[in-house]
Amino acid sequence: MINRKYQKIVFSFFMSLLMSCIMSLVISVFNVGLVSNIVIIWMKAWAFAFTVAFPTIILVSPLVHKLVNLALTKDRDDA
């Protein structure tokens, strides 16, 4: 198994894999419909989307963590 110190990278990998899969399918079907070669169209779109999504998540996730921390309030028990 993978060491816990790589948790952020492993999380980013699986998040980008699943999100790019879902989004590329939805966008492919939206753009061309349920045509006979939709699986091939989707797989090409997914491969491209994943190569963009994974490094993007690696780069953007620290900013997202900061924004989440700014958006959340502390519980009274935490004070």
Average pLDDT, rounded, for the chain: 95
The pLDDT score that the predictor gives to residue 53 is 98
The pLDDT score that the predictor gives to residue 78 is 59
Amino acid at 15: M
- pLDDT tier at 74, thresholds 50, 70, 90: confident
Residue 24's closest CA among 43, 7, 5?
Answer: 43
Q: What is the DSSP string of the chain?
A: ---GGGHHHHHHHHHHHHHHHHHHHHHHHHHH-S-TTHHHHHHHHHHHHHHHHHHHHHHHHHHHHHHHHHHSPPPGGG-
- pLDDT tier at 79, thresholds 50, 70, 90: low
Mean pLDDT for 40-53 is: 98
d(CA 29, CA 63): 31
**Cβ-contact 30, 51 below 8 angstroms:** no
